[in-house]
């Protein structure tokens, strides 16, 4: 402040700071109010909602029940373009599709569609980048660019739903049954927008997509106050806690936020979530060779989890590490992985090993965006 006058208005170099407001950011009542503010009848907002959430229409030409003059205003006001696909990579004969999106300000995020015989899961991003700095995660290396808006999060799911509806994914027309917040970003660090997105995904059409909350998984490094808040929210989503180590010494290194919230505090918050919501919590554990995959750590993990009771409140999902370029970590030896599973199961902890879909298309969190940037 060496006596120099500051400009009166501090504007970013170009463009706007916030993503444009979109239908999916608003509840149905808010959309109706907004339509009236635009000088249009409130019911037009509902008609537009039927197109967007009910029929997944994105071409205004198809909205023939809207008078042409009002259609342009409605589309301008409610359906601004939020994201452009930059690249789509396919694996598993087209049943795994990863899309790199460019947001309005140039930020890059990824989403992945995974079709299984009995379900379709969309893995979505909640932030461009991530501030949690986990050293084994590609997204963590680039830091946080910005939070995504509710509509930017929802639009990833809607885009996947559209491609399924149009039969673009092998297996015939289908629907999105599951959404996991396991793409880029820490959902609990963008709490309001993420809860907004969960509401929009679960609100019955035409207010939202009408999905079951049980099909939605919010994955977190363990921001304890936010886990507590989610516990009170009354939305029965599945909580996944990225633990990766049962002891503070190692977890401080692998998940740096652990220096703020210890393993004990974090696991207790997750246990309380299970207790209150009756939803079984998932403990995510990326298996890293020689780092966190020792038999004694499996025993310790089992003991830590069982110290909150063995009433089936938790299961462990082991994730084979997807090595990021230049990182010193690699995936565990299959024999060590089997022993880890055996020891957890011996302690009564249901344990699964995540399939490694899409590894050849840089399936792991943030790798595609990191490559592009």
Check binding of 156 to ligand SAH (CB under 6 A): no
Choose one: 47-55, 154-162, 219-227, 259-267; the region binding ligand SAH (CB under 6 A).
219-227
Least distance between ligand SAH and beta carbon 7 (Å)? 37
365 annotated active-site: yes
Least distance between ligand SAH and beta carbon 291 (Å)? 12
SS3 content of the chain, % helix, strand, coil (to 5): 40, 20, 40
Q: What angle do CA 58, 60, 65 make, to 5 degrees?
A: 115
Residue 236, burial from CB neighbour count under 10 angstroms (0-12, 13-18, 19+): middle
Residues 6+ apart with CB under 8 A from 91: 98, 357, 358, 359, 360, 361, 363
- Selected from 141, 149, 220, 332, the binder of ligand SAH by CB under 6 A is 220
For residue 247 the two structure tokens come to: 């002891």
Least distance between ligand SAH and beta carbon 306 (Å)? 21
DSSP state, residue 5: P
Q: Which of 61, 90, 110, 337 is labelled catalytic?
A: 110
Separation of alpha carbons 108 and 104, rounded Å = 10
Backbone torsions φ then ψ of 325, nearest 5 degrees: -55, 130
For residue 305 the two structure tokens come to: 């989890």
Separation of alpha carbons 290 and 217, rounded Å = 29
Q: Are 281 and 237 in contact (CB under 8 A)?
A: no
Separation of alpha carbons 62 and 294, rounded Å = 58
- Selected from 111, 147, 156, 242, the binder of ligand SAH by CB under 6 A is 242
Check binding of 221 to ligand SAH (CB under 6 A): yes
Choose between 23 and 286: whose C-beta lies nearer to ligand SAH. 286
Choose one: 11-19, 157-165, 308-316, 320-328; the region binding ligand SAH (CB under 6 A).
320-328
Check binding of 152 to ligand SAH (CB under 6 A): no
Q: Which of 123, 134, 137, 365 is labelled catalytic?
A: 365
- Selected from 152, 284, 293, 337, the binder of ligand SAH by CB under 6 A is 284
268 annotated active-site: no
- Selected from 48, 112, 286, 341, the binder of ligand SAH by CB under 6 A is 286
CA dihedral 320, 195, 109, 172 (to 10 degrees): 70
Could you tell me the end-to-end alpha-carbon distance of the chain, in angstroms, rounded to an integer? 34
Choose between 19 and 323: whose C-beta lies nearer to ligand SAH. 323
- Selected from 82, 103, 182, 193, the binder of ligand SAH by CB under 6 A is 182
Check binding of 319 to ligand SAH (CB under 6 A): yes
Q: Are 140 and 177 in contact (CB under 8 A)?
A: no
- Selected from 176, 211, 321, 349, the binder of ligand SAH by CB under 6 A is 321
For residue 322 the two structure tokens come to: 């997807």
Check binding of 364 to ligand SAH (CB under 6 A): yes
- Selected from 149, 150, 156, 324, the binder of ligand SAH by CB under 6 A is 324
Residues that bind ligand SAH (rule: CB under 6 A) add up to a total of: 18
Check binding of 197 to ligand SAH (CB under 6 A): no
Beta-sheet pairing, 96-103 with 83-91: antiparallel
Choose one: 7-15, 29-37, 152-160, 319-327; the region binding ligand SAH (CB under 6 A).
319-327
Choose between 23 and 128: whose C-beta lies nearer to ligand SAH. 128
Check binding of 322 to ligand SAH (CB under 6 A): yes
Residues 6+ apart with CB under 8 A from 64: none
For residue 67 the two structure tokens come to: 């008078």
N residues, the chain: 373
Least distance between ligand SAH and beta carbon 140 (Å)? 7
Check binding of 219 to ligand SAH (CB under 6 A): yes
Q: Are 227 and 281 in contact (CB under 8 A)?
A: no
Check binding of 270 to ligand SAH (CB under 6 A): no
CA dihedral 316, 248, 145, 355 (to 10 degrees): -20
Residues that bind ligand SAH (CB under 6 A): 132, 134, 136-137, 182, 186, 219-221, 242, 284, 286, 319, 321-322, 324, 364-365
Query: Which residues are part of the catalytic machinery?
Result: 110, 365
């Amino acid at each position: 402040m060496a006596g120099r006058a500051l400009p009166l208005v501090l504007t970013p170099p170009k463009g706007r700071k916030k993503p444009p407001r979109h239908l999916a950011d608003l509840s149905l009542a808010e959309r109706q109010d907004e339509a009236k503010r635009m000088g249009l009848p409130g019911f037009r907002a509902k008609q537009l909602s039927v197109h967007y959430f009910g029929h997944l229409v994105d071409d205004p030409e198809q909205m023939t029940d809207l008078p042409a003059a009002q259609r342009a205003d409605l589309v301008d006001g409610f359906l601004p373009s939020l994201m452009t696909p930059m690249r789509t990579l396919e694996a598993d004969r087209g049943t795994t599709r990863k899309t790199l999106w460019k947001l309005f300000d140039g930020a890059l995020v990824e989403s992945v569609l995974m079709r299984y015989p009995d379900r379709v899961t969309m893995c979505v991003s909640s932030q461009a980048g991530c501030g949690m700095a986990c050293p084994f995660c590609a997204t963590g290396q680039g830091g946080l660019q910005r939070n995504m808006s509710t509509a930017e999060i929802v639009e990833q799911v809607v885009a996947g739903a559209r491609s399924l509806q149009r039969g673009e994914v092998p297996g015939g027309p289908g629907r999105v049954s599951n959404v996991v917040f396991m793409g880029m970003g820490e959902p609990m660090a963008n709490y309001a927008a993420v809860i907004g997105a969960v509401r929009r995904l679960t609100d019955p059409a035409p207010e939202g997509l009408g999905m079951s909350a049980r099909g939605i998984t919010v994955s977190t490094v363990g921001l304890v106050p936010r886990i507590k808040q989610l516990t009170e929210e009354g939305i029965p989503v599945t909580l996944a806690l990225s633990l990766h180590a049962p002891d503070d010494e190692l977890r401080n290194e692998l998940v740096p936020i652990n220096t703020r919230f210890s393993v004990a505090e974090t696991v207790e918050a997750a246990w309380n979530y299970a207790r209150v919501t009756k939803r079984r919590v998932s403990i995510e554990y990326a298996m890293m060779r020689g780092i966190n995959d020792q038999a004694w750590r499996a025993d310790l993990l089992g003991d830590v989890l069982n110290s909150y009771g063995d009433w089936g409140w938790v299961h462990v999902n082991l994730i084979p590490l997807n090595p990021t370029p230049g990182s010193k970590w690699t995936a565990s030896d299959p024999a060590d992985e089997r022993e880890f599973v055996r020891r957890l199961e011996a302690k009564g902890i249901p344990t699964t090993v995540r399939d490694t879909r899409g590894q050849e298309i840089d399936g792991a969190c943030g790798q595609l965006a990191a490559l592009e940037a």
